[in-house]
Amino acid sequence: MHRRSFLFGTSTLFISQLLVGCNANIQPQLTVQVLKGSIPGRILKGFENQLQKKLSQKVQLKFSPVVQLQELFKRLKSLKKNKTATNKPEGFDIRRLFGKSQPKNIDLVTLGDFWLKDAIEGELIQPLSREKLENWSKLSPKWQELVTRNDRGLVDKQGNIWAAPYRWGSTVIIYRRDKLETFDWKLQDWSDLWREELKGKISLVNQPREVVGLTLKKLGKSYNTENLNQIASLEEELQKLNQQVKFYNSASYIEPLILGDTWLAVGWSNDIVSLLSRYPQLSIIVPNSGTALWADLWVQPKGNEKEDLSSKWIDYCWEPKIAKQIALLTKANSPISTDITKITASEIPQPLQNLLLPNPDIFNKSEFLIPLSKTTTEQYDSFFNKMKSS
């Protein structure tokens, strides 16, 4: 799945490294590979200052930005290969001259929630220590359940904590306001995608779980429905929706909207938020019946020995003041509720208010795309492929 593999723009992220003196080799160091644009530079500076006060010494922060979540997952797998390889004399590696070699010791990595099951099953990461996460209780049960899993990567209340969410977003409907304002109805929910006026004017992401899932939502079902064959009208609804679609694309679905080739698209919130100020004809809604949620998570590569520093960073991201800054500066949502962070409408641009101040009723109806069995996943693929060929 390529959720957010293609990013149109990124926020500021600075690689924060403290000046190293002659005692550099004894300074504590935190090495992090982070999704570019998901952590503002000022957050790192604040953490640096906080650590210096608490530890009474400087700490090296090495934050390396990576553009794609999929690339971060690949790097996790590469780390495991490097650690499990047989010991050999390292010899000379020309890649080091050009900064191409992969760091051997990485303490934290950003991971999309979609890859969490594979990371656990593949033994790429290790559980987080509940005792060291002082702000864990600030997360609602919905967030705690997302990252509490068994050794197979399945959601399990009795499992370990495998990741720490630090921001999230949702699947949304993006539309041309100037094209839809002439109609005598207002875009509100997934069911509007089936309206005759939108025939041939819609683009959908090329993802079975998303497209079949939104159709299930229209039918009052869950994104995570186990047996699709029991939903009698599902195939018919998918065929009708296909007649509305101009194309399926998980990367280039915003450009056609800007050009007017399509009037409406289903996509991911982080792909569009930075563009709304430049293209005021575009608007976003979160469907009333609920939508799919995604999350950016901190995970510890297996074998990490700096749990104390890693836990301090995670807790720092969950401090209400810092969680608020991450949300506002990266135009995303925080897993720490707005009741705690005190985010107000006046702090958010009007076009983003319905997105960054989520309606509690809609949020409660929304769902993460949790791992499904192989048989069920194949059903989603089959229904989706049949839909597109109808």
Report the C-alpha gap between 259 and 30 in whole angstroms.
45
Where do the CATH 3.40.190.10 domains begin and end in the chain? 24-168+294-357, 171-292+364-388
Compare 55 and 115 and report the one with higher pLDDT.
115
pLDDT for the residue 274: 86
Q: Which residues pair with 110 in a beta bridge?
A: 298
Report the C-alpha gap between 210 and 217 in whole angstroms.
10
Q: 64-106, pLDDT tens digit by residue? A: 999 999 999 999 999 888 776 534 544 444 444 344 445 568 9
Which CATH architecture does the domain made up of 171-292+364-388 adopt? 3-Layer(aba) Sandwich (3.40)
Amino acid at position 53, single letter: K
20 phi/psi in degrees, rounded to 5: -105, 125
Q: At what angle do helices 320-330 and 41-55 cross, to 10 degrees?
A: 160
Q: Which residues contact 261 (CB under 8 A, 6 or more apart)?
A: 246
pLDDT for the residue 21: 44
Q: Which of the residue ranges 48-62, 109-123, 273-287 would you say has the lowest mean pLDDT?
A: 48-62
pLDDT confidence of 252, banded at 50, 70, 90? very high
pLDDT for the residue 95: 40
- Residue tagged 């810092």 (tokens): 322
pLDDT confidence of 158, banded at 50, 70, 90? very high
pTM value?
Answer: 0.87
Q: Which of the residue ranges 274-283, 294-303, 313-322 would you say has the lowest mean pLDDT?
A: 274-283
Which CATH architecture does the domain made up of 24-168+294-357 adopt? 3-Layer(aba) Sandwich (3.40)
289 phi/psi in degrees, rounded to 5: -85, 0
Q: Which of the residue ranges 16-30, 46-60, 376-390 would you say has the lowest mean pLDDT?
A: 16-30
pLDDT for the residue 28: 85
Q: Which of the residue ranges 3-12, 332-341, 346-355 would you say has the lowest mean pLDDT?
A: 3-12
pLDDT for the residue 358: 92
Note whether 51 and 93 are within 8 A (CB). Answer: no
- For residues 256-283, give the mean pLDDT: 93
Note whether 325 and 39 are within 8 A (CB). Answer: no
pLDDT confidence of 127, banded at 50, 70, 90? very high
pLDDT for the residue 25: 54
Residue 336: Cβ within 10 Å count: 26
| Predicted confidence (pLDDT) at residue 212 exceeds the cutoff of 80 | yes
Closest CA to 109 of 42, 41, 30: 30
Q: Please give the span between the terminal C-alpha atoms of the chain, in angstroms, as a whole number.
A: 23
Note whether 360 and 281 are within 8 A (CB). Answer: no
SS3 label, residue 296: strand
Averaged pLDDT of the chain: 89
DSSP code for 342: T
Note whether 264 and 202 are within 8 A (CB). Answer: yes
